[in-house]
């Protein structure tokens, strides 16, 4: 028994000794806290001694890794991201063949400089990708166009200009019926030999197309002139000479049988048939200065032509009264007239121009009204107009007729006022 306990005691003492020796050995070894900075170098670490678990996260910095020390087999799959690659460090040599696919290329990243000459083949061009804007001017030559490739629907309206057509390329068979309009024919391009005989009809001639230079001298004959075609405006001043006037054919004027004209060889005469004239007119009984013949037979002034080529026959008119019997009138009706227009007129004093001296009464001043002033206030009844539609004469006898209506209207107003005053007086007296 004692021997067994002694053996156990000795075993424990041996174990303690061994433990102490191990502790001393451990204490003698270098630890993290006992190592000076940068004491452990690459040569002190055995290969494959440091595992991933022994490396603290983010503890391996750029300065701890030697040049070319990280190889492809040291990198795990997908461990190198875009942020890990310095700009400009992915070179042609680092990109594997066929590694750059379509989805790796940004839109608009492939510029002209990136495309090798002749690299864009027909197969690379999508259908309808080549638009007008992509084709440089003048680069589609005849050789590039396949036979019958240019159809009608390929040509824009108005795209075929004169310069595009070869000489004599447009033949008669190429022009559709009725397709050549006036706008298609250049000025002066239709020559005499292009027009078939007698093909210029009346419908083909534009208004005023035949001018002076188009007419051959002597070809406008009497038969070409329509009745009434030669108006005053067509006759030049002084062009109607005495030789052109045949007085023998003048037998009467619009006054009827009461006044006749005649004469030959440029010496016209005027005759007044008073026996007929008395039916429509009544003569005054007073004498008139400047009359010809008997004093009871005053003259009228009939003027033809324009100054300075005038022929004047004196026949004064204001010594006659117009007949007013119902037997010589028709379409008789009451005429309502704005008499206030008469109040807007202005009496003027004036002298006639030298060319119109025959209209005077040899007096220093004339008195009357201006035709344009009458038109301006709307008093058109006494006016007469020339061929241009401008007022040039006043029927003074009609002014008296219109003024009588004004007098009647004024008289009606006076009577109405007198009646009102009379009633007012009576009312005052009754209330007196």
What residue spans define the domains of the chain? 251-322, 334-431
Is a pLDDT exceeding 90 seen at residue 372? yes
Of 280, 242, 274, nearest to 260 by C-alpha is 274
CA atoms within 13 A on the CB side of 216: 1
Q: Which residue has the higher pLDDT, 322 or 305?
A: 322
**Long-range CB contacts (within 8 A, 24+) of 127-134:** none
Q: Which of 400, 398, 395, 376 is nearest to 384 (CA)?
A: 395
Tens of pLDDT, residue by residue over 308-329, are 554 554 444 444 556 788 898 9
pLDDT (tens digit per residue) in 329-368: 999 999 988 999 999 999 999 988 887 776 666 778 889 9
Band of pLDDT at residue 120, cut at 50, 70 and 90: confident
At residue 93, does pLDDT exceed 60? Answer: yes
Residue with tokens 């006639």: 352
Residue 248 in contact with residue 261, Cβ under 8 Å?
no
If one compares 82 and 426, the residue with the highest pLDDT of the two is 426
What mean pLDDT do residues 109-136 have? 84
- The 10 Å Cβ neighbour count of residue 374 is 21
Q: Which fold has domain 334-431?
A: Arc Repressor Mutant, subunit A (1.10.10)
Region 31-37: what's the mean pLDDT?
57
For position 264, what pLDDT does the model report? 52
Alpha-carbon span 29 to 44, nearest angstrom: 14
The alpha carbon of 119 is separated from its chain's Cα centroid by a whole number of angstroms, namely 52
pTM over 0.75: no
pLDDT of residue 239: 80
DSSP 253: B
CA distance 347 to 366: 11
Q: How far apart are CA 161 and CA 170, in angstroms?
A: 12
Q: Residue 168: left if φ>0, alpha if ψ -120 to 50, beta else—which one? A: left
Per-residue pLDDT at 60 exceeds 80? no
Residue carrying the six token digits 């070809």? 219
């Amino acid at each position: 028994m004692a021997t067994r306990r002694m053996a156990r005691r000795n075993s424990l003492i041996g174990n303690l000794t061994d433990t102490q020796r191990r502790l001393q050995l451990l204490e003698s070894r270098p630890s993290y806290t006992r190592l000076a900075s940068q004491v452990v170098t690459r040569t002190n670490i055995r290969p494959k001694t440091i595992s991933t678990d022994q490396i603290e996260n983010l503890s391996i910095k750029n300065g701890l890794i030697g040049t070319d020390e990280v190889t492809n087999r040291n990198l795990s799959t997908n461990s190198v991201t875009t942020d890990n690659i310095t700009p400009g460090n992915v070179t042609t040599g680092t990109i594997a063949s066929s590694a750059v696919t379509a989805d790796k290329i940004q839109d608009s990243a492939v510029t002209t400089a990136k495309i090798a000459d002749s690299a864009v083949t027909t197969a690379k061009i999508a259908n309808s990708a080549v638009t007008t804007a992509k084709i440089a001017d003048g680069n589609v030559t005849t050789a590039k166009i396949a036979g019958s490739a240019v159809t009608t629907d390929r040509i824009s309206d108005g795209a075929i200009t004169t310069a595009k057509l070869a000489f004599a390329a447009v033949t008669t068979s190429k022009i559709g019926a009725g397709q050549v309009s006036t706008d298609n024919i250049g000025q002066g391009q239709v020559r005499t030999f292009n027009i078939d005989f007698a093909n210029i009809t009346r419908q083909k001639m534009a208004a005023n197309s035949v001018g002076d230079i188009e007419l051959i001298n002597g070809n406008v004959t009497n038969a070409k002139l329509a009745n009434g075609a030669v108006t005053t405006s067509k006759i030049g001043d002084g062009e109607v000479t005495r030789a052109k006037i045949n007085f023998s054919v003048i037998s009467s004027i619009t006054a009827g049988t009461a006044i006749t004209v005649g004469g030959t060889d440029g010496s016209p005469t005027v005759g007044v048939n008073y026996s007929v004239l008395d039916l429509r007119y009544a003569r005054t009984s007073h004498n008139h200065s400047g009359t010809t013949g008997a004093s009871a037979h005053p003259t009228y002034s009939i003027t033809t032509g324009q100054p300075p080529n005038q022929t004047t026959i004196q026949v004064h008119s204001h010594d006659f009264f117009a007949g007013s019997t119902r037997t010589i009138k028709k379409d008789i009706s009451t005429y309502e007239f704005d008499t206030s227009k008469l109040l807007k007129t202005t009496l003027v004093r004036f002298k006639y121009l030298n060319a119109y001296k025959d209209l005077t009464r040899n007096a220093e001043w004339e008195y009357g009204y201006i035709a344009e002033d009458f038109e301006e206030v709307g008093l058109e009844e006494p006016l007469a107009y020339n061929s241009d539609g401008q007022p040039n004469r006043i029927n003074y006898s009609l002014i008296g007729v219109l003024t009588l209506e004004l007098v009647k209207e004024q008289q009606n107003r006076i009577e109405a006022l007198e009646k009102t005053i009379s009633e007012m007086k009576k009312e005052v007296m009754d209330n007196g």
